[in-house]
Amino acid sequence: MMKKVGIRDVATAAQVSVTTVSHALNETHASRVNPQTRAHIQSVAAQLGYSPNKLASGLRTQRSNFLGLVSDEIATTPFAGEMLQGAQDAAYERGWLVMILDSSMDLELEKHQINFLLQHQIDGLIYARMFHQEVVLPAQLAKTPVVLLDAVSGDGSNSSVVPDEVAAASTATTALIEAGHRRIGFINNRDDIPATHARLHGYREALDKHQIDFDPSLVITAAADASGGRVAALQMLAAETRPTAVFCFNDRMAMGAYQAAGSLGLRIPHDLSVIGIDNLELIADELWPGLTTVALPHYEMGSWAAERLLDEIEGKAGASQLHQKLDCPLIERASIAPPTPG
Amino acid sequence: MMKKVGIRDVATAAQVSVTTVSHALNETHASRVNPQTRAHIQSVAAQLGYSPNKLASGLRTQRSNFLGLVSDEIATTPFAGEMLQGAQDAAYERGWLVMILDSSMDLELEKHQINFLLQHQIDGLIYARMFHQEVVLPAQLAKTPVVLLDAVSGDGSNSSVVPDEVAAASTATTALIEAGHRRIGFINNRDDIPATHARLHGYREALDKHQIDFDPSLVITAAADASGGRVAALQMLAAETRPTAVFCFNDRMAMGAYQAAGSLGLRIPHDLSVIGIDNLELIADELWPGLTTVALPHYEMGSWAAERLLDEIEGKAGASQLHQKLDCPLIERASIAPPTPG
C-alpha cells in the first residue's frame, strides 16, 4: 500500500511550514498567504496528490474514538500549538479526536484531569511537556497506553519523542562553519535542562569535526530570553578578539544578540552572523534581517506521538517501546554571511 | 457572602500579569520569577487572603462536570493560551473541567468535534475565536448553552465577550498625548476586521477630546506584522514633518516601527515614542527598550466566558444575554517619552 501523502509532505516539497500549507489550502485562511506562495503550494499539493480534506472515512462510521493529551503549560508556551496541531492532525487522519487538557503544572489538577479522561473511556493518552525534560508518569496511568511528547521517563517504560538536541546544535554550528567562520561564540542557556547539555555537546562535536579547537572563553551562559542574550552578546563582543559569528541557544536569545549588535553599530550578517534554535516564527520571521535558525520539530513530534499511540492502541506496534529523536532542520533566512576579512 | 479572592485580584494588586502570579505561587515554576517579584506577589497574596490551591471542593464529590471549548486556531495564535487558561481557571474554581478542541478553521472537523462533545454529555460550550470577529454559530448548538469568546454573533442570541477596541485605541493615543505629543501617527491594520475600524475610531476620539485636528496623512495601513509596520513607519518617518510618536495597531507592527527607527538612527523613546496593542509578552517584553502597550484582556475574556456559561448552566443568569466589552489596561514599559523640542 502506498503511504498516504500528508500535509508534512507538501510542506517539505514546497519548502514552507506546515502552518503555511494549512492556511494556503483552507478557504477561510487563504488570504493570509501571499498569492504567489499560495499558487506554489496548490501546485505542489496537486502534483503530490494531496487532498486537503483530512477526514478519515472511519470517523463517519466508527464509534468516536478519542485520545487525551495532557500538557503542562499551553498558556505560556508559544510553540505549544504546533505540538497540539501535529497530534490532532495525525489522529484525525486515522479517525480519532484529541481532547486537550492543560494542567498548568498543578499536580492535583492533573490528577483530576486524568481521572476524568479515564472515566470517559479514553483509549490512550499523550503526556506532553512544553520543553524537553524527564518526567515521572502519574501512577493512575499504569494500565493506559501512554506516549511521552517532548519528554522521556527515567525507566523508559513508555514510548517517547524528543528533538535530537545534539544534532540540532551541530547543524547550527556547522552552518556557521560552512559560511567560513572559525571563531564562533555559543550563548547557552544557564538552566540545568537536557537541551543545555546536549546543545553544548553538539556545538563541540561540530567544532571537532572541522578541526576547530574548543575555546571555553567563547561560551557564555545566560537567562534564555532576549535580555539574557543581549547581555551575553555584549560581553562576548567586547572581547579583544571577538567572534565573527554567534550561535544562540534559542531564538529569543538571538533577538538579544541582534539588539547587542545594533547598539554596537555591528550589522547582521555583514559584521556578525547569528543563528538560533526554535524557528519561533513570531521572532525568527519578524527580526530584520530574518533569523536563520534550526527548527525544533514541534508539529512532527505531536504527529509522531499520536501515530505511535494509535499503533499501540490498535495493536500495530511491536512489543518494545520506541524512543524517538527527531531531526531538526536548518531554516535559512538572512542572518549568516561569510566573515569580513580583517 | 464575600467574593472569593481570585488570581486576577492578586495580579491587579501586585501590578503583574496573571501568568506571573501563577508562576510565583507554584513551587515548580517559582524559579521563573525573580526573587524580589516573587516575594512581592506572595506578600500581596497573603494580604488579600488568596489561596493558590484552586481546587473547588465540589470537584471531589460531584459528578465530573465538563465544558467544551472549541476554537479556530490555537496552533498559530500566540495568545490563545491565555484565553484557554482564563477559561480553565474560572471553571476549575467552580468545580468544572474544560475540554479544548482546535478546529483549525476546518468546518467539517468542527462539526465532528461538536457532535462528539454533545454525545459526551457536555453541559455547555465556549465558542472561541482567536481574534475579535463576527461568527455564525453551527446549527447543532441550537439547544446547548453557548458563550462566544472574542467573537459576536449577528443575531445576538448568545452571550459574548470581546475587548473594548475603541477604548483600547483611545487609551493608547491618550498615553502619547499625555506625554506631550501632538503629531501622532497611526499605523493601522489593512484587514477589514472589527478591530481595524474600532481602533481608528478610538484614535480619532482621543484626538478630538484633546482638541487635536485629525490629519489623514498621519494614518497608514499595512499588513499587521513587523514587516508591514516597518515599511509603514519608514514611509511615515520620511515625511517632511514627521510624527514624534507612533501608535501601532499591534505589538508586531510596533516591532517593525522599532526596526524602522533603528535604520534611520532614531532612538526610542528619545527621538520617537511608540505604543502598541496586545501586550504580547514575547515581543513587548523582549524589545529593547521594552514596549509600552495596551493589553488585550485574553485571560480575563476566557475567565468571563467560563463564568458566564456556568451561570447560564446553573440557572444563575438572568433571561437576557450579556454582550460584554472588557477593559484593556495600559502596560507601561519604556517606549514613551516627551517629544524632543525642535
- Optimal mutation site among A73, A92, A121, interface B, most CBs of chain B within 10 A: A73
Cβ <8 Å between A59 and B112: yes
**Distance, CA of B228 to CA of A182 (rounded, Å):** 36
Strand A125-135 versus strand A330-331 pairing type: unpaired
Give the chain A residue nearest B231 (alpha carbons).
Answer: A288
Going A110 to A113 to A118 to A123, the CA torsion angle's sign is negative
Q: Locate cell 532612538: which residue?
A: B267
Reply yes or no on whether the pLDDT at A54 is more than 70: no
Task: Look at residue A333 in the predicted model and tell me its pLDDT.
Answer: 97
Query: Is the C-alpha dihedral spanning A173, A179, A183, A184 positive or negative?
Result: negative
What ipTM was assigned to the predicted interfaces of this complex?
0.79
Residue A32, helix vs strand vs coil? helix
Angle at B84 between CA A284 and CA B169, to 5 degrees: 70
Q: Where in chain B is the domain with CATH 3.40.50.2300?
A: 56-163+297-328, 165-296
Query: Which residues lie below 8 Å from residue B113, measured CB to CB, with a gap of 6+?
Result: A97, B70, B101, B103
Q: Do B75 and A82 touch (CB under 8 A)?
A: yes
Measure CB to CB from residue A97 to each of B53, B74, B112 and give the nearest one: B112
- Average pLDDT, integer, range A186-208: 97
**Is B74 in contact with A55 (Cβ distance < 8 A)?**
no
How many C-beta neighbours within 10 Å does residue A262 have? Answer: 17
Confidence of residue A7 (pLDDT cuts 50, 70, 90): confident
Contacts of B77 in chain A (CB under 8 A): 81
Q: How far is B67 from chain A (nearest CA, A)?
A: 12
* Mean pLDDT of the B183-189 span: 98
Superfamily of domain A165-296 in the CATH hierarchy: Response regulator (3.40.50.2300)
Average pLDDT over chain A, rounded to an integer: 87
A60, A84, A286, A298: best mutation site toward chain B, by most B Cβ within 10 Å? A286
Which pLDDT value is given to residue B51?
63
Beta strands (DSSP E) in B235-336 are 245-248, 273-278, 293-295, 323-326, 330-331
User: And the C-alpha cell for A21?
Assistant: 500549507
Q: Which helix (H) or strand (E) holds A330?
A: strand A330-331
Residue whose C-alpha is closest to residue A280's, from A101, A10, A17, A29: A17
Query: Closest to B82 (Cβ–Cβ): which among A53, A75, A283?
Result: A75
How many other CB atoms are there within 10 angstroms of residue A236's CB atom? 21
Report the share of chain A in percent with pLDDT over 90. Answer: 54
Residue B135: CA count within 13 A, CB half-sphere: 30
CA B84 – CA B79 distance, rounded (Å): 9
Contact B108 A28 (CB under 8 A): no
What phi and psi, each to the nearest 5 degrees, are found at residue B288? -130, 110
**Residue A57 in this model has a pLDDT that exceeds 60:** no
Would you call B81 and A85 a contact, using CB atoms and an 8 Å cutoff? no
| Omega cis (within 30) before A269 | yes
A283-327 pLDDT, tens digit per residue, is: 999 999 999 999 999 999 999 999 999 999 988 888 788 999 999
Residues of B in contact with A80 (CB under 8 A): 74, 81
Query: What residue spans in chain A does CATH classification 3.40.50.2300 cover?
Result: 7-163+297-326, 165-296
Question: ω before A297 within 30° of 0 (cis)?
Answer: no
How far apart CA B44 and CA A313 sit, in angstroms, is 48
Please indicate whether, in this complex, the C-beta atoms of A100 and B101 are within 8 angstroms of each other.
yes
pLDDT in tens, A257-285: 999 999 999 999 999 999 999 999 889 99
Burial class of A213 by CB neighbour count within 10 A (0 to 12, 13 to 18, 19+): exposed
State the pLDDT at residue A48. 81
Interchain CB distance below 8 Å, A226 and B283: no
Cβ contact A81–B77 (<8 Å): yes
More confident residue, A89 or B208: B208
Predicted local distance difference test score (pLDDT) of residue B308: 96
Closest residue in A to B68 (Cα–Cα): A99
**Chain A residues touching B89 at Cβ < 8 A:** 104
pLDDT at residue number A92: 84
pLDDT at position B52 is 53
Cα–Cα distance measured from residue B4 to residue A341, given in angstroms and rounded to the nearest whole number:
66
Q: Which residues contact A269 (CB under 8 A, 6 or more apart)?
A: A289, A334, A335, A336, A337
Q: How far is the CA of A334 from the CAs of A288, B57, B96, B252, B275, in angstroms?
A: 8, 55, 48, 19, 28
Per-residue cell: B110: 468542527
Q: pLDDT confidence of B118, banded at 50, 70, 90? A: confident
Q: Using CB atoms within 10 A of its CB, is residue B63 exposed (0-12), middle (13-18) or buried (19+)?
A: exposed
Residues in chain B with CB shorter than 8 Å from the CB of A280 are 282
Give CA–CA dist B65/B61, Å, rounded: 11
β-partners of residue B82 are: none
Residues B7-34, mean pLDDT to the nearest whole number: 73
Nearest CB to B102: which of A88, A256, A262? A88
Indicate the burial class of B265 (C-beta count within 10 angstroms; 0-12, 13-18, 19 or more).
exposed
Q: Report phi then psi at A178, rounded to 5.
A: -70, -20
CB-based burial of residue B120 (10 Å sphere; 0-12 exposed, 13-18 middle, 19+ buried)?
middle
Q: In the 8-state DSSP scheme, what is residue B293?
A: E
Nearest beta carbon to residue A26 from set B66, B92, B106 = B106
Q: Is there a contact between A286 and B106 if contact means CB atoms under 8 Å apart?
A: no
pLDDT over threshold 70, residue B37? yes
The closest of A169, A335, A342 to A245, measured between CA atoms, is A335
Identity of the residue in B23, B102, B256 whose CB atom sits nearest the CB atom of A84: B102
Q: Is the pLDDT of residue A82 over 90?
A: no
Of B53, B85, B282, the CB nearest to A283: B282
CATH 1.10.260.40 maps onto chain B at 1-53
Confidence of residue B31 (pLDDT cuts 50, 70, 90): low
Distance from CA of A19 to the nearest CA of B (A): 7
Neighbours of A280 (CB within 10 A): 25
Task: Give the SS3 label for residue B27.
Answer: coil
CATH value of B1-53 in 3.40.50.2020, 3.40.50.2030, 3.30.43.10, 1.10.260.40:
1.10.260.40
Q: Which residues of A touch B283 (CB under 8 A)?
A: 282, 286
Interface test with B, best of A55, A62, A63, A74 (most B CBs within 10 A): A74
For residue A60, pLDDT beyond 50: no
Which among B53, B78, B286 has the least Cβ separation from residue A225?
Answer: B286
Q: Which three cell numbers stand for residue B33?
A: 520569577
Which range has the top average pLDDT, A29-38, A47-56, B41-50, B71-80? B41-50
> Which residues are paired to A188 by β-bridges?
A221
C-beta separation of B279 from B295 below 8 A: yes
Who contacts A317 (Cβ-Cβ below 8 Å, separation ≥6)? Answer: A159, A308, A311
Contact: A99, B97; criterion CB under 8 Å: no
- For B78, the grid coordinates are 500566540
Between these two residues, A315 and B288, which has the higher pLDDT value? B288
Q: Give the nearest partner residue to B75 out of A85, A113, A287, using CB atoms.
A: A85
Task: State mean pLDDT over A131-147.
Answer: 89
* Nearest-angstrom CA–CA distance, B24 and A242: 38
Instruction: Find chain A residues with C-beta within 8 A of B99's C-beta.
Output: 99-101
**Could you read off the pLDDT of A151-162 as tens digits, one per residue?**
998 888 899 999
Task: Report CA-CA distances (Å) from A49 to A7, A43, A46, B108, B314.
Answer: 11, 10, 5, 21, 50
Interface test with B, best of A27, A118, A134, A288 (most B CBs within 10 A): A288
CATH architecture of A7-163+297-326: 3-Layer(aba) Sandwich (3.40)
Global pTM value: 0.82
Give the mean pLDDT of chain B: 87
Express each pLDDT in A94-107 by its tens digit: 888 888 888 777 78
Q: Which fold has domain B56-163+297-328?
A: Rossmann fold (3.40.50)
Residue A51 has pLDDT above 90, yes or no: no
The dihedral built from the CA positions of residue B114, A68, A163 and B287, taken in this order, carries a sign that is positive
| Per-residue pLDDT, B59 | 40
